[in-house]
Amino acid sequence: MIDTEVGTLARLNHHNIVRLVEVSKGMQSNPKKGSKEVRFIALELIGGGELFDFVALGGRLSEAQARYYYKSIIDGLSYMHSQGIAHRDLKPENLLLDKEFVLKITDFGFAAPIRGRDGSGLLQTQLGTASYMAPEIHLGKEYEGARVDLFASAIILFVILTQRPPFTSANPQDPHYRLIAAGRAELFW
């Protein structure tokens, strides 16, 4: 997984994406298991915490604040997608704030080529965080990386405005999701 993340981060250079500072190798010693070679990655220091904690502890964001952070998410995603990368695990816990409250997308452990491993433009691996996953992932279907990232970003927008998720998961068994999918948002509220 670390090779994927390093390879992805090495290709990205955007102010809303965590910056890879250095990759190095070293030896790790264990008295019982001996020594083994390990790789270390150093990322830029982002000391402001997670967007999740910012909202959970500070309350829901104003519309202006939410618009600012959502634009930052979309700018970072747009750049990533233009570089051929889908994140696939976008959630408030993977959005960090630096000391000046600039949003940084992080945790590229599930990142994949936007064109898919076979070049078809579709991804197949069922992964991510359930409450931010698009319906096609829950249903076990192939999916487009950019679309599932955008779906997750919309869930994040809802969370930062309301301080709660719109539904448990985007699947037909969830009653709140069913209302939204059926165009019955008036009953949702």
Closest by Cα among 151, 91, 142 to 117: 142
Residue 157 has pLDDT above 60, yes or no: yes
Do 88 and 149 form a contact (C-beta atoms < 8 A)?
A: yes
Two structure tokens written together for 143: 């999916």
Q: Which sequence spans correspond to the domains of the chain?
A: 47-188
pLDDT score at 189: 66
Arithmetic mean of pLDDT, 104-123: 92
pLDDT score at 155: 95
Question: pLDDT tens for residues 71-101?
Answer: 999 999 999 999 999 999 999 999 999 999 9
Best CATH choice for the domain 47-188 from the list 1.10.510.10, 3.40.718.10, 3.40.50.1220, 3.40.50.970: 1.10.510.10
Out of 3, 53, 89, 98, which one is annotated catalytic? 89
Model confidence band, residue 13 (pLDDT cutoffs 50, 70, 90): very high
Annotation marks residue 89 as catalytic: yes
**How does DSSP classify residue 145?**
H
Residue 2 has pLDDT above 70, yes or no: no
Express as a percent the part of the chain with pLDDT over 70: 96
Question: pLDDT tens for residues 27-51?
Answer: 888 888 889 988 888 889 998 899 9
